[in-house]
Amino acid sequence: MKTEDNNEYLESQVEQVAELIVNARRVVVFTGAGISTESGIPDFRSPGGIWERFDPEEFTYQQFLSNPESRKKHWRLLGSGRLHGGAEPNPAHYAIAELEKLGKLDCVITQNVDNLHQRAGVPENKVFELHGNMQWTVCLGCGRRYPFADVSDRVAGGEQEPACEVCRGMLKPDVVMFGEQLPERVFREASRHSRQCDLFLVIGSSLVVTPAAYMPVYAVDAGAGLVIINLSETPMDRQAAVLIRAKAGEAMSRIARGVSKRINGE
Ligand code: NAD
C-alpha cells in the first residue's frame, strides 16, 4: 500500500474507534510494554527487546529467593536504572489521560511497572497494576516498603543485596516476577472491570503473558467489543472489531482527538 492509502486506512480505523468510545458506557484500556517503547523503555519480545539481552530463566521469583547470585544480578539490572531511568510518558499515555478527562475511561489495567499512566494524569484509583510498580521495594520479612530510588542508590553505592533497615529481611522490587502470584485484590478488581465493560482497548501487548492476558478474554466472553492497537500479531486479533497495526502514540493521539471532537464539537 502507498503511504497515502495507509494514512487513509488508519484515519478510517481511528474514526471507527473514536465512534465506539463515544457510544460505549464503560471503556477499559489494557496496556502492555508496547505502550512504553515510545518512551524509550524496551519491551520484552520485539527485536532489541529485553529477552534478547537477558535470560528469562535467571529472572524468576524462585531464583530470586533461593540464589544469592541471581539476587545480585536482579539488583545490578534493576538498580542500574537501565530499564526505566528518565522515561517520560508519551503521547499514548497522555491520550488515555485525555479520555479520562472526557469522562470516557472506566479504568486502565496495565501490565507495566513504569508508573507512566499515573504520571500522564490518570488518577491512581483508576490504574490497576497487575505486575506491581517499580517505584517501590518491599521487605519480604516485615512488609515495610522503601522508595526504589533510595534502594537503587544503596546498590549504586556498593550494596549488592540490599536488606531492610529495620528487620534485615530481604528487599525485593515491588513487582511481580516470573513464577510469582499476582496481587490478589488487583487481579480480582481488574477481572471485574473487564467483565463489566462494553468496550475493551488493548494497547501494546502481545497478549501471551498469563494470567494478565485473560482480561480481554473475560471482556469478550461477557459481550464487550474489542479494539487492538499493536505492532505485531496477538492471539486475539481475529476477535477484534478494529485491529490497528500502528504505533500506539500516533493512533491513540488521533483517537483521543476524534473523541474530543465528537464530545466538545472542536
Ligand atoms: P511484550 O513485550 O510481550 O509485547 C509488547 C507488544 O507491543 C509487542 O507485541 C509489540 O509488537 C508491541 N509494540 C511495541 N512497540 C509498540 C508501539 N510503539 N505501538 C504499538 N505496539 C507496540 O509485552 P507485554 O505483553 O506487556 O508482556 C511482557 C511483560 O513484561 C509484561 O508482563 C510487563 O509486566 C513486563 N514489562 C513491562 C515494561 C514496562 O513497565 N514498561 C517493560 C517491559 C516488560
Mutate to test the pocket of ligand 1, among 36, 44, 84 (most ligand atoms within 8 A of CB): 44
| Annotated catalytic residue, options 84, 117, 131, 193 | 131
Is it the case that residue 22 has pLDDT exceeding 80? yes
What value does the mean pLDDT of the chain take?
A: 92
State how far the alpha carbon of 57 is from the alpha carbons of 54, 64, 93, 258, in Å: 9, 11, 31, 44
Q: Is the CB of 111 under 6 A from ligand 1?
A: yes
131 annotated active-site? yes
Q: Is the CB of 41 under 6 A from ligand 1?
A: yes
pLDDT, mean of residues 11-23: 97
- CA separation for the pair 84, 86 (Å, rounded): 6
Residue 113 has which C-alpha cell? Answer: 511497572
Is it the case that residue 58 has pLDDT exceeding 80? no
Bigger pLDDT: 238 vs 158 = 238
Residue 90 has which C-alpha cell? Answer: 508519551
Is it the case that residue 9 has pLDDT exceeding 60? yes
Q: Is the CB of 177 under 6 A from ligand 1?
A: no
Q: Are 130 and 187 in contact (CB under 8 A)?
A: yes
Q: Is the CB of 20 under 6 A from ligand 1?
A: no
Return the ligand 1 atom nearest residue 230 CA.
21
Q: Which of 66-70, 93-97, 188-192, 238-242 has the lowest mean pLDDT?
A: 66-70
Closest CA relative to residue 205, chosen from 188, 192, 217? 217
State how far the alpha carbon of 77 is from the alpha carbons of 18, 22, 72, 111, 116, in Å: 40, 43, 9, 19, 20
Q: Which of 5-14, 83-92, 213-222, 230-239 has the lowest mean pLDDT?
A: 83-92
pLDDT, mean of residues 229-255: 97
What pLDDT score does 55 carry?
Answer: 73
DSSP letter, residue 240? -
Q: Is the CB of 89 under 6 A from ligand 1?
A: no
Contacts 24+ apart (CB under 8 A), 116-124: 116/35, 116/36, 116/39, 116/87, 116/88, 116/89, 116/90, 117/31, 117/89, 117/93, 119/88, 119/89, 119/93, 120/89, 120/93, 120/94, 120/96, 121/94, 121/97, 122/93, 122/96, 122/97
Q: Is the CB of 110 under 6 A from ligand 1?
A: no
Q: Would you place residue 193 in the very low, low, confident or very high pLDDT band (cuts 50, 70, 90)?
A: very high
Q: Which domains does the chain have, with CATH numbers?
A: 13-41+89-131+179-266 (3.40.50.1220), 42-83+132-175 (3.30.1600.10)
Residue 152 has which C-alpha cell? Answer: 537503587
Tens-place pLDDT, residues 126-164 = 999 999 998 899 999 999 999 998 998 898 888 989 999
What's the longest Cα–Cα distance across the chain? 63
What pLDDT score does 7 carry?
Answer: 84
Tens-place pLDDT, residues 99-109 = 999 999 999 99
Quote the pTM value. 0.92
Mutate to test the pocket of ligand 1, among 43, 96, 230 (most ligand atoms within 8 A of CB): 43
Residue 59 CA to ligand 1 center (angstroms) comes to 17
Is it the case that residue 1 has pLDDT exceeding 70? no
Is it the case that residue 266 has pLDDT exceeding 80? no
pLDDT, mean of residues 51-55: 66
Q: Would you place residue 49 in the very low, low, confident or very high pLDDT band (cuts 50, 70, 90)?
A: low
Return the ligand 1 atom nearest residue 234 CA.
9
User: In this structure, how many other beta carbons lie within 10 angstroms of the beta carbon of residue 163?
Assistant: 15
- CA separation for the pair 248, 266 (Å, rounded): 23
DSSP letter, residue 46? S
Is it the case that residue 80 has pLDDT exceeding 80? no
Q: Would you place residue 3 in the very low, low, confident or very high pLDDT band (cuts 50, 70, 90)?
A: low
pLDDT, mean of residues 105-118: 97
